[in-house]
Structure 1
């Protein structure tokens, strides 16, 4: 049995016009979000002023500007005949620099957390697939046989069980407090 891909996935595609309009629109949407992400990273990581505008294949405009489109337009609309002003390199104050470093660190932590959650999601999806494949759809994830799980899957399952145990204990303690309060009154 051969595994054939029905989609191109993360494969590199040639940089040429996509002929089919029904393929062009989703490609535009996916690439647009990637451009927004890259532009936002440039602003966050480098403190750059970024602005761009694009039109979808259907003619709908989309734009991104940081700090604002007006400030970027002013820089671009300088009269050609006027000599440009003496641009001196700007220095970032220590306060702004520390804020920028803090934001960069926060961004990195969020990106790492997102990657970890994506891995967890993949592992959970794998477990769901395995349980469905072995006709265990009527059972819960905690009833999945552990014999065929990898070490990482065992660790994730253990973490999930510990989390479930903690939630159950908290719920039971909450119910006890509620019943004690109603009994006392």
Structure 2
């Protein structure tokens, strides 16, 4: 018998959805690693779980790929958009204060969104730090039961508690690391995109001023 085809739709059960996400995420990162290893490709992937936790994979690393991608986008935008802006200004003579105010308001909205993201990531990091400290304190309390003993002298119950505490600590550290990597990459992209918008607005404003001065010189 052939393999049964899996229907592509949202998994309704929450637990099954989380398991599916973990398996598919691992497979996605594995394929990306194979692509990088076998083809010499540079790859960056950022994935958010159904619960909102970010996970990332990058070769050589996510930040360098994000920088390279954004630089490519900046070059493309600067070479094509400037021609469109010039044509638009010449044909329509748009340069009113209303249009400038709209662009300024849009930039302010983007800046506010970026600041909200920074604040949210800061709070998330603080919560994870507290959980890590909680796990550490649990481990230290377990160690305080008999500080002079070593691991070989612990009984089965103490060993199980120690194992559980270490596993929880390891998981929280891994989550913290993934969130820091993904958040830093996303914030880097957001900052670069905001800078691109500001530069476009500056260039458009200078071009409009030049056009106005040119028209004024005729009188």
Q: Comparing both chains, which one has the higher relative contact order based on Cα–Cα distances under 8 Å and sequence gaps of 6 or more?
A: 2
TM-score by length of 2: 0.32
Q: Which structure dedicates a bigger proportion of its chain to helix? A: 2
TM-score by length of 1: 0.38
